[in-house]
Amino acid sequence: MYKVARSYFQNEEDIADALQDTIEACYRSIPHLANPKYFRTWLIRITINKCIDIIRKNRREHPVEEFPEQGEICMELKNCEFKELMRSLDEKYRTVLLLYYGEGFKISEIAQLLDMEENTVKTRLTRGRKKFREIWSAQSAAT
């Protein structure tokens, strides 16, 4: 759940809100889960929905962004660069890539989770990889 929320947000408070909202929703809805075999899929789907809800809410509020103090250095530079690169991808590609590579879901599971055709998932994986490579190459050439 944390990995999914982290792919949507930089801010730890937003991540914590998404996780809290997910846990609350799951706790209230667990009696309605038809097949316990799909608990993990169900949980990730709720996490994604809660993240999207928070993004929508934040767009309406237009919060003032916090900037790190001058001289503050990212301790894990490569990890920070990767996260920024992932955030630069369109949400539909980022979600599929994260579920496939980060969470280890199969294409069929992702299709079920996101309520789309398997071929759509395959297409988004292919396009997401291509976009990732393009952005990575552009950043590498710039440095």
Fold annotation for 75-143:
Arc Repressor Mutant, subunit A (1.10.10)
pLDDT on residue 81: 67
User: Quick one: pLDDT at residue 40?
Assistant: 87
Q: Is the pLDDT of residue 92 over 60?
A: yes
How high is the pLDDT of residue 21? 93
pLDDT in tens, 105-124: 889 988 888 888 999 999 99
Residue from 96, 85, 83, 84 nearest 132 by CA = 85
Confidence of residue 102 (pLDDT cuts 50, 70, 90): confident
Of 101, 89, 93, 143, whose CA–CA distance to 123 is shortest? 93
| Residues 27-58: tens digit of each pLDDT | 898 888 888 888 888 898 899 889 888 888 87
Mean pLDDT, the chain, rounded, equals 80
What residue segments make up the domains of the chain, in order of their start?
1-66, 75-143
* Residue of 28 and 72 predicted with greater confidence: 28
